[in-house]
């Protein structure tokens, strides 16, 4: 550690994006002795995961949400990290070191433009959630159709799940999986990795609060992750009706009901079922700023539009976290740790 701290003294790294990946990278680099400039577009640190609620029922289900708060505290307490909120990268010059021009985010036109120097850049600009309005599920038209992100925010904000239309607790809930992921028509062939686990955790949390809630899970197949997931999944299957099909249509019926039409995988016949509330498990898409970052910093993109992983960058530009593809909070932390090792190796040589 001392040896690394000596080698990194006087070096500065810009970390673009203050989600869990950027926070972890910033904290680790600063602890290793580098000066860190952390640039975050929004007004708060934490990224998407800062909006998730605790889904512990009788015990912790390892959703990872609290790791984010803990990491923000650690970043705030670590010397050597200069945080720029409501800022984004606008221009880049390289003459030995990088000079990065940070401009204020939209709506802050009178805030100053800042130039910062850096020897290396970590790109942790995260993912963009899929917008499901183009799917035949009435999102933004039927009030009781919400996304998994909105359900997370509801759990975090109110510690309960209610129907937006009337504030009543839903008796019949459905989760539609793979909305915007694994979808050849959209050209999104990837699995978003986290939405099966996230939906099952939210469903079990709801059952622990209101054991009578009837929950149906429409899926293609279940992506498991984490070492305890199999045990968790076996328990979830006892409480949740699992239907291996994705509804083709959803439309309103009397008294705020929503009727889903799907192809029964067992009888091979069309079937219908009515719900009070439907949750769309939307997928993780490439971050909106990936093309800009790729242009400004000459960073390669994958065919899908994520930033290509780079272990050995000649230019000192290293992506981390979901900017490189869908992954969970623990995997985004691991990705940041690996990126920090790559940055250190680069800084030691340059
Ligand atoms: C509905 C849902 C539920 C999930 N549930 C779980 C779960 O239970 N457990 C789990 O482990 N994972 C879960 N995930 C995945 C989790 O959200 C991600 O693993 C995590 O958010 C990745 O962090 P990140 O830092 O890579 O990206 P992000 O969280 O997207 O953070 C990126 C940050 O970069 C900032 N940024 C973007 N562009 C710029 C720019 N140009 N300049 C400056 N800043 C910029 C953004 O404002 C943001 O703060 C879930 C995902 C979804 C969609
Ligand atoms: S990991 Fe998730 S379930 Fe466990 S305590 Fe933290 S927020 Fe709650
Ligand atoms: S994690 Fe589950 S819901 Fe999400 S894309 Fe993969 S299989 Fe579909």
pLDDT in tens, 154-189: 999 999 999 999 999 999 999 999 999 999 999 999
Torsions phi, psi for 249 (to 5 deg): -155, 155
Q: Are 134 and 272 members of one domain? A: yes
- pTM comes to 0.96
- Taking the CA atoms of residue 39, residue 41, residue 47 and residue 48 in that order, the dihedral angle to the nearest 10 degrees is -160
pLDDT tens for residues 72-122?
A: 999 999 999 999 999 999 999 999 899 999 998 876 777 778 999 999 999
pLDDT tens for residues 27-79?
A: 999 999 999 999 999 999 999 999 999 999 888 988 999 999 999 999 999 99
Q: Are 177 and 304 members of one domain? A: no
pLDDT tens for residues 259-278?
A: 999 999 889 999 999 999 99
Residue 8 pLDDT exceeds 60: yes
Q: Note the maximum CA span of the chain.
A: 70
The predicted structure's pLDDT at residue 313: 81
Last residue of a domain, one of 257, 284, 311: 284
242 contact partners, CB below 8 Å, separation of at least 6? 216, 217, 219
Rounded to an integer, what distance in angstroms lies between the CA atom of residue 139 and that of residue 76? 38
Q: What are the tokens at 34?
A: 């580098």
The predicted structure's pLDDT at residue 233: 80
203 contact partners, CB below 8 Å, separation of at least 6? 173, 175, 215, 217, 236, 239, 240
Q: Are 210 and 108 members of one domain? A: no
pLDDT tens for residues 308-328?
A: 998 788 899 999 999 999 999
The CB of 273 under 6 Å from ligand 2? The reply is no
Distance between Cα 265 and ligand 1 center (Å): 34
Q: Are 242 and 262 members of one domain? A: yes
In whole angstroms, how far apart are CA 198 and each of 190, 202, 211, 343?
17, 6, 19, 32
The CB of 49 under 6 Å from ligand 2? The reply is no
Residue 2 pLDDT exceeds 60: no
The CB of 306 under 6 Å from ligand 1? The reply is no
Rounded to an integer, what distance in angstroms lies between the CA atom of residue 149 and that of residue 16? 23
Q: How are beta strands 257-263 and 270-275 bridged, if at all?
A: antiparallel
Q: What are the tokens at 174?
A: 């459905």
The CB of 290 under 6 Å from ligand 1? The reply is no
Q: Is 25 helix (H, G, I), strand (E, B) or coil?
A: helix
Cα 105 to chain centroid, rounded: 21
Domain total of the chain = 2
Yes or no: say if 53 and 65 are a contact pair by the CB < 8 Å rule: yes
> Alpha helices, DSSP H only, in the chain?
2-8, 20-31, 65-77, 148-158, 195-209, 229-239, 290-297, 329-349
The CB of 25 under 6 Å from ligand 1? The reply is no
Strand partners, 215: 173
Distance between Cα 292 and ligand 1 center (Å): 18
240 contact partners, CB below 8 Å, separation of at least 6? 200, 203, 204, 207, 215, 216, 217
The CB of 148 under 6 Å from ligand 3? The reply is no
The CATH number for 98's domain is 3.50.50.60
The CB of 198 under 6 Å from ligand 3? The reply is no
The CB of 177 under 6 Å from ligand 3? The reply is yes
Which of 15, 19, 23, 337 is the best mutation target for the ligand 1 pocket, counting ligand atoms within 8 Å of the beta carbon and taking the most?
A: 19
Q: Is 101 helix (H, G, I), strand (E, B) or coil?
A: strand
Q: Are 280 and 296 members of one domain? A: no
Last residue of a domain, one of 258, 284, 310: 284
Please compute, for residue 290, the number of CA atoms within 13 A of its CA located in the half-sphere on the CB side: 24
Q: Are 90 and 181 members of one domain? A: no
Distance between Cα 194 and ligand 1 center (Å): 11
- Measured from the CA of 60, which atom of ligand 2 is nearest? 4
Q: What is the DSSP letter of 301?
A: B
Q: Are 80 and 24 members of one domain? A: yes
Q: Are 143 and 276 members of one domain? A: yes
Rounded to an integer, what distance in angstroms lies between the CA atom of residue 20 and that of residue 72? 8
Last residue of a domain, one of 239, 264, 284: 284
Q: Are 58 and 118 members of one domain? A: yes
117: domain range? 2-126+287-349
Which of 129, 147, 177, 327 is the best mutation target for the ligand 3 pocket, counting ligand atoms within 8 Å of the beta carbon and taking the most?
A: 177
Q: If we measure between CA atoms, which residue out of 302, 280, 261 comes closest to residue 134?
A: 280
Name the residue with the closest Cα to ligand 2, atom 6.
66
Q: Are 28 and 77 members of one domain? A: yes
The CB of 35 under 6 Å from ligand 3? The reply is no
Q: What is the DSSP letter of 144?
A: T
Which of 26, 61, 87, 125 is the best mutation target for the ligand 1 pocket, counting ligand atoms within 8 Å of the beta carbon and taking the most?
A: 125
Rounded to an integer, what distance in angstroms lies between the CA atom of residue 313 and that of residue 216? 46
Distance between Cα 109 and ligand 3 center (Å): 40
Q: Are 175 and 257 members of one domain? A: yes
The predicted structure's pLDDT at residue 1: 47
Distance between Cα 285 and ligand 2 center (Å): 25
Rounded to an integer, what distance in angstroms lies between the CA atom of residue 44 and that of residue 11? 26
Find the helix packing angle between 195-209 and 148-158, rounded to 10°.
40
Q: Are 28 and 151 members of one domain? A: no
Name the residue with the closest Cα to ligand 1, atom 48.
47
Distance between Cα 224 and ligand 3 center (Å): 9
Distance between Cα 200 and ligand 2 center (Å): 14
Name the residue with the closest Cα to ligand 3, atom 2.
196
């Amino acid at each position: 550690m001392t040896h690394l701290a000596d080698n990194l003294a006087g070096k500065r790294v810009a970390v673009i994006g203050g989600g869990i990946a950027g926070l972890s990278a910033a904290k680790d680099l600063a602890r290793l002795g580098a000066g860190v400039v952390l640039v975050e577009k929004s007004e708060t640190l934490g990224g998407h995961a800062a909006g998730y609620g605790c889904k512990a029922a009788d015990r912790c289900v390892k959703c990872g949400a609290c790791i984010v708060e803990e990491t923000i505290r650690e970043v705030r307490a670590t010397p050597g990290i200069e945080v720029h909120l409501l800022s984004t990268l606008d221009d880049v010059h390289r003459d030995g070191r990088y000079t990065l021009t940070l401009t204020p985010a939209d709506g802050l036109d009178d805030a100053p433009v800042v130039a910062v120097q850096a020897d290396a850049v970590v790109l942790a600009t995260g993912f963009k959630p899929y917008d499901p309005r183009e799917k035949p599920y009435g999102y933004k038209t039927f009030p009781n159709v919400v996304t998994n992100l909105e359900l997370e925010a509801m759990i975090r904000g109110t510690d309960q799940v209610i129907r937006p239309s009337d504030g009543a607790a839903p008796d019949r809930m459905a989760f539609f999986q793979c909305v915007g992921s694994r979808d050849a028509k959209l050209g999104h062939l990837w699995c978003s990795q986290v939405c099966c686990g996230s939906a099952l955790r939210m469903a079990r949390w709801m059952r622990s609060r209101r054991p009578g809630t009837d929950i149906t899970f429409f899926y293609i197949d279940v992506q498991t992750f984490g070492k305890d997931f199999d045990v968790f999944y076996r328990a979830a299957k006892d409480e949740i009706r699992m239907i291996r099909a994705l509804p083709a249509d959803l439309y309103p019926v009397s008294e705020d009901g929503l009727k889903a039409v799907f192809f029964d995988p067992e009888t091979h016949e069309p079937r219908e079922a009515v719900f009070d509330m439907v949750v769309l498990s939307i997928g993780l898409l490439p971050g909106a700023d990936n093309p800009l970052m790729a242009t400004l910093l000459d960073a390669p993109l994958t065919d899908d539009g994520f930033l290509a992983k780079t272990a050995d960058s000649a230019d000192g530009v290293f992506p981390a976290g979901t900017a490189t593809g869908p992954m969970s909070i623990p995997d985004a932390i691991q990705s940041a740790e690996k990126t920090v090792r790559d940055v250190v190796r680069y800084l030691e040589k340059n």
